[in-house]
Amino acid sequence: MITLYQRRRLYNGALLSVAMLATVFGLFWLAWLLITLFSQGVSWITPTTFTQITPPPGSAGGLANAIVGSILLTLGGVAVGAPIGILAGTYLAEFGRDRGIAVTVRFVNDILLSAPSIIMGVFIYAAVVVTTGHFSGWAGMLALALIVIPVVVRTTEDMMRLVPDALREAAAALGAPQWKVVISVVYRAARTGILTGVLLSVARISGETAPLLFTALNNQFWNTDLGKPIANLPVVIFQFAMSPYEDWHNLAWAGALIITLSVLLLNIFARIVLRERQPGT
Amino acid sequence: MVKGGQWGDKLPQPALSRLDHVALFLMTLAIRPSIFTPPSAKKSLPDRLFRAGTGFMAFLVFMSVLAILVSLWMGAWPALHKFGFRFLTGTDWNPVTSEFGALVAIYGTLVSTAVAMFIAVPLSFGIALFITELSPRWLKRPVGTAIELLAAIPSIIYGMWGLFVFAPLFADHVQPWVTDHFAGVPLLGALFDGPPMGIGMFTAGLILAIMITPFITAVMRDVFDLVPAVLKESAYGLGATTAEVVLKVVLPYTKIGVIGGIMLGLGRALGETMAVTFVIGNAHHLHVSLFEPGTTISATLANEFTEAVGPIYTSSLMALGLILFLITFIVLALAQLLILHTSRPRLSTA
């Protein structure tokens, strides 16, 4: 005969074990993914991976053009998106605050943050590729910038809001105009946090494939001209992995490992930077 | 008889004392402090420029959503005009005859997302519960970070891994067993019927589940942490077990935020593209079985957009994009409203 007390104990134990199992299950996938990536990718990363361009099936080659293309697109996307994001975030934190318009922008921004990235690709296709008549690196860059903006707006605003108002008031009391307060006091205090946001946005877009599929397209040759279709790691991985050729698969694994490593390192780095900045959060 | 004015005469005249004047002045100042601002301290030109510049960028963020909507609508118009309502209900997707209906893709999107939610919600709840209530202090951060890193891994990596590693294992060891054992069971038998190919709706849903778990977990953790300690302590003080505290105190207190987090995951799952494209099989057929290949809106876009020939084909794909954007917009808007209702969630930028 089970008493009420025993039943409650049992029930408690069951729920807690399930919670523990769920956590182990979640971590198990992460471990499995990373282990596969390493075991499959490591042996295919050789010096030629970084020096030769993407080969036709059946011959040797590397990913040099895709790596350079990815770096160009990512840097370009951040260069366009980050300033817009930082300024918009500044407006929300310093001027908009709880005004209706700021609340609306914040709301829309949070939706953009989670909106499907392939939609950005379709949008840029309609707005840029159709208008200019051809696929180009610029289009890919803009699609990536659209993904950077909401990330940076959000982090910038959050970080600037952490700066106590007393600091702003102190600067204003000394006679500093508001723009000066923002630039020399608030930006300075929130500098690391804003940078972290930019870093996280780099991590986010360096693996993005969907928005590049029909904007930057791909290019099997060496190209650094953003006016033309440009090779980039995610799309090359997609193409190679979906192909029937064994040696293309191997290059895809190498590319996948390179991307994942850089994204994870960027993420961890950003976290460490942020943590040192704000102990206890 | 009462003469006009008589009453007014009898009322005490509100003669303002000096003190009243001071009070009035202070009240005015409280309402409108700027009356005290000397003209020289009014907003200078650089100030106004700075404000206008940042304001314009914020406005740009707002406008981008409108721009996306308008351009998708314009791109989708030829197809919507040609097919009308049939576009939503048609199951044909035939580039050769230029006959396009979105139902198969919409169905695939909803089913794969449903599978994902079915797995991800309990999983996220378990993880959030572990991190907030069970884990020793030193373990909280590593486990939390590891789960968040799941969100940082690019979608295409999940896809590749799903196609080359998970699908073959699943096809060889799990699918035949499941198909055999559920064969006679009504409903479940139909759901898990079909050739063991590894890829299909179920695999897509499972991988989606792993991808959205970190987002749901993050929101759940945040709202669980909002529960006042006093509330939990009083329940413990009455002799409640951890399970009872979580289910009867924490969950009721945070339910709106929890639902918001689930909606956030839902929005993510609906629009996830690359991982699904790899493992769903890309077949424009309606199947009840989860082991059969299908397609989703995003996978169709990723696969066919660059190959689309002819205005109606491209336009139909745009229309798919429009449908996807509208669905995710509504879901994410609801999620935001629900989460805002409890608190502003911590950043989930990955």
Indicate whether A32 and A155 sit together in one domain: no
In chain A, residues 5-44 whose CB comes closer than 8 Å to chain B: 8-9, 11-12, 14-16, 18-23, 25-27, 29-30, 32-33, 36-37, 40
Q: Do A56 and A128 fall into the same domain? A: yes
A179 vs B46, B150, B159: nearest CB: B46
Based on the fold, state whether residues A240 and A124 are members of the same structural domain.
Answer: yes
Does residue A203 lie within any of the structural domains? yes
Smallest Cα distance from A48 to chain B, Å: 22
With CA atoms as reference, report the closest residue to B155 among A121, A60, A39: A121
Does A60 map to a domain? Answer: yes
- Using DSSP's 3-state secondary structure scheme, residue A13 falls into helix
Q: What 3 state SS string does A46-87 have?
A: CHHHHHCCCCCCCCCCCCHHHHHHHHHHHHHHHHHHHHHHHH
Task: State the average pLDDT for chain B.
Answer: 86
The torsion region of residue A91 among left (phi > 0), alpha (psi -120 to 50) and beta comes to alpha
**Domain co-membership, A37 together with A53:** no
Strand partners, B281: B294
Within a domain: residue A36?
yes
Both A199 and A214 in a single domain? yes
Dist CA A247 CA A251 (whole Å): 6
Q: Are both A130 and A253 inside the same structural domain?
A: yes
HEC profile for chain B? CCCCCHHHHHCCCCCCCHHHHHHHHHHHHHHCHHHHCCHHHCCCHHHHHHHHHHHHHHHHHHHHHHHHHHHHHHHHHHHHHHHCCHHHHCCCEECCCCEECCHHHHHHHHHHHHHHHHHHHHHHHHHHHHHHHHCCHHHHHHHHHHHHHHHHCCHHHHHHHHHHHHHHHHHHHHHHHHHHHHCCCCCHHHHCCCCCCCCCHHHHHHHHHHHHHHHHHHHHHHHHHCCCHHHHHHHHHCCCCHHHHHHHHHHHHHHHHHHHHHHHHHHHHHHCCHHHHHHCECCCCCCCCCCCCECCHHHHHHHHCCCCCCHHHHHHHHHHHHHHHHHHHHHHHHHHHHHHHHCCCCCCCC
Name chain B contacts of A241, Cβ cutoff 8 Å. Answer: 159-160, 163-164, 278
What does the alpha-carbon distance between residue B270 and residue B32 come to, in Å, rounded to a whole number?
Answer: 49
- Read off the pLDDT of residues A115-173 as tens digits, 9 standing for 90 and up: 999 999 999 999 999 899 889 999 999 999 999 999 999 999 999 999 999 999 999 99
Q: Show the tokens assigned to B157.
A: 């990596």
Which backbone phi and psi does A174 adopt, to 5 degrees? -80, 0
Helix (H/G/I), strand (E/B), else coil: A162: coil
Residue A74 belongs to some domain of the structure? yes
The answer to whether residues A92 and A13 belong to one domain is: no
Separation CA B81–CA B319 (nearest Å): 11
pLDDT in tens, A28-73: 999 999 999 999 889 888 888 899 999 988 888 889 999 999 999 9
Whether residue B148 has pLDDT greater than 80: yes
Question: Hey, how many other C-beta atoms are within 10 angstroms of the C-beta on A33?
Answer: 22
- Model pLDDT, residue B42: 61
Q: List B293's β-bridge partners, or say none.
A: none
Does A89 share its domain with A111? yes
Distance (Å) from the alpha carbon of B152 to chain A's nearest alpha carbon: 7
- Bridge partners of B100? B93
**Is B348's CB within 8 Å of A264's CB?**
no
The token duo for B249 is 């105190």
Q: Does B235 touch chain A (CB under 8 A)?
A: no
Does B350 have pLDDT greater than 50?
no
* Nearest partner of A44 among A55, A28, A33, judged by Cα: A55
Residues A112 and A209 in one domain: yes
**Per-residue pLDDT, A277:** 57
Q: Spell out the residues 6+ positions from residue A269 whose beta carbon is closer than 8 angstroms to its own.
A: A199
Measure Cα distances from B8 to B11, B17, B128, B233 in Å. Answer: 5, 20, 70, 62
Residues A123, A138: Cα–Cα separation, whole Å: 14
A279 is a domain residue: no
**For chain B, how big is the Rg over CA atoms in Å?**
30
Whether A209 is covered by a domain: the verdict is yes
Number of domains into which chain A is organized = 2
Domain identity same for A40 and A59? no
Q: Express each pLDDT in B272-309 by its tens digit.
A: 999 999 999 888 888 888 888 999 999 999 999 988 88
Q: Say yes or no: A115 and A101 in one domain.
A: yes
In a domain, A191, yes or no: yes
State mean pLDDT over B173-177: 87
Predicted pLDDT of residue A128: 92
For residue A77, give the amino acid letter: G
A280 within some domain: no
Is the pTM for the entire model greater than 0.80? yes
Cβ of A200 within 8 Å of Cβ of B57? The answer is no
Is residue B131 within 8 angstroms of chain A, CB to CB?
Answer: yes
Same domain, A14 and A102: no
Q: CATH number of the domain at A114, please.
A: 1.10.3720.10
Confidence of residue B3 (pLDDT cuts 50, 70, 90): very low
**Which domain range does residue A243 map to?**
48-274
Burial of A4 (0-12, 13-18, 19+ CB in 10 A): exposed
Using a 10 angstrom Cβ sphere, with 0-12 exposed, 13-18 middle and 19 or more buried, the burial of residue B314 is buried
| pLDDT at res. B29 | 61
Report whether B71 contacts A127 (CB < 8 A).
Answer: yes
Burial label for B81, CB within 10 Å (0-12, 13-18, 19+), is exposed
Q: Read off the pLDDT of residues B306-324 as tens digits, 9 standing for 90 and up.
A: 888 888 999 999 999 999 9
Q: pLDDT at residue B94 above 70? A: yes
Q: Is there a contact between B336 and A110 (Cβ–Cβ < 8 Å)?
A: yes
